[in-house]
Amino acid sequence: MNMSSGSTEPRRKRTVTRVLGLTTALAGGLAVVVALAMAAGWVPGWGLPGIGPKLSAQGMIGKTHTRASRIACALPPLAAQRTGAPEGMAWVPGGRLAPGDSVYPEEARGKPVQLAGFWMDRTEVSNDQFARFVTATGYVTVAERVPDASRLVGAPPELLQPGALVFQVPRKLDGPPDPLQWWHYLPGANWRQPGGPGTHLEGRGSLPVVAVTLQDAQAYARWAGRQLPTEAQWEWAAREAREQAAPQHEQPRQANTWQGRFPMEDAGSDGFAGVAPVGCYTGNALGLHDMIGNVWEWTRDAWRPGHEDAPPPALQAARATAISGPPPQGVIKGGSFLCSPDWCMRYRAGARQPQDLDLATSHLGFRTILEVR
């Protein structure tokens, strides 16, 4: 895109118009917006004047409204547990999954999938858990590394610095809904500083780790002797091991989602505005907490537009072929504290969304599984 002279506003409007159609279809598919903007060599709205790394109550600080002193939640004991259960995991029995839902096109019902039983983390991986992994291994996350400039030709300088995409409540909205008014790439943002420089994890060890890419999540899983779930395994667990759950399109009460006018006002009537500590909401019938809401969760599957498409390519192969094409993407599930009825109805087991593999964001974490051989 030519940025040589004149006002940028007409170009900004054209860029926003270009992405809004697909963005609306994906209820704010952030990875697609970023990929298109980066392909144009320009990211409008990032680093807006007067908006720095300091976050408001609806940002990444995990501020509570009705339970302001709560910084951790104790998990209730499981009603029944198999002998030899790994610590912090619950058993997900095998069965036959009919994947998908009916809200967005990419969720269209797929062919039934037969799944074997497996163990799954009862909660999302927390900051404390991830810190133990980093201390033991010296691992450096993708958001802490200098990006490969050869793959970001034409990108603005801030995108060539280590950092992550951070949600910030906009002071005001200009024009039509535009995710680039509330998402900002902040150099220095990473899992240690999820809101950017000046933020920290002190007292927030029980919050889910965020600003981690697929590579980071897989590295943790390998260290723990586990792996990430497939999309089908994740959806099966979220559906409480039921073949085809009844449609649940209403905003859930026992989940950390957005109540109010997105993205300006989160009433926090579910107990939290922003990220909540893991396990604060009632678990499902399998004893799994926060499968819906709080933060999105990585799966190990490559993105494909629908369940009936060709089998997904291996993610490693997708990375290898991505140098000259669009960024490779994986599947994320579960929605987050940013999902609201008026913008992102992805607080459902059958919802799915693409995410750039190397893009760390402040509303995305993960949990692991242990398969029984």
Compute the distance between CA of residue 263 and CA of residue 198 in angstroms, rounded to an integer.
23
Both tokens assigned to 182: 């509330």
The helices-and-strands tally (H runs, E runs) of the chain is 6, 11
Quote the distance between the C-alpha of residue 261 and its chain's center: 21
The answer, yes or no, to whether the previous bond of 177 is cis (omega within 30 of 0) is no
- Residues of the chain below pLDDT 50: 1-69, 317, 320-323
| 3-class state of residue 354 by DSSP | strand
pLDDT at res. 56: 33
Crossing angle, helix 30-39 and helix 9-25, to 10 degrees? 150
pLDDT at res. 24: 30
Crossing angle, helix 214-223 and helix 127-137, to 10 degrees? 70
Cβ(124)–Cβ(367) below 8 Å:
yes
pLDDT at res. 327: 73
pLDDT at res. 108: 87
Compute the distance between CA of residue 24 and CA of residue 144 in angstroms, rounded to an integer.
31
Over the Cα atoms of the chain, what is R_g? Answer: 20
Phi first, then psi, for residue 113 (nearest 5°) are -125, 130
Compute the distance between CA of residue 338 and CA of residue 262 in angstroms, rounded to an integer.
8
- Closest by CA to 137, choosing from 223, 68, 12, 204, is 223
Phi first, then psi, for residue 268 (nearest 5°) are 65, 25
pLDDT at res. 211: 98
Q: How far is CA 112 from CA 96, 100, 106, in A?
A: 6, 10, 16
pLDDT at res. 157: 87
Q: Please give the single-letter amino acid code of residue 34.
A: V
Q: How far is CA 313 from CA 35, 185, 286, 302, 307, in A?
A: 19, 29, 31, 6, 13
Q: Cβ contacts of residue 100 below 8 Å, gap of 6+?
A: 107, 108, 109, 110, 307, 350
Mean of pLDDT over the chain: 79
Beta strands in the chain (DSSP E): 89-92, 95-97, 113-115, 118-121, 163-167, 183-187, 296-302, 329-333, 353-356, 364-365, 369-371
pLDDT at res. 70: 59
**Residue 168 has what DSSP assignment?**
-
pLDDT tens per residue, range 119-165:
999 999 999 999 999 999 999 999 999 988 887 788 888 889 999 99
Cβ(275)–Cβ(337) below 8 Å:
yes
pLDDT at res. 67: 41
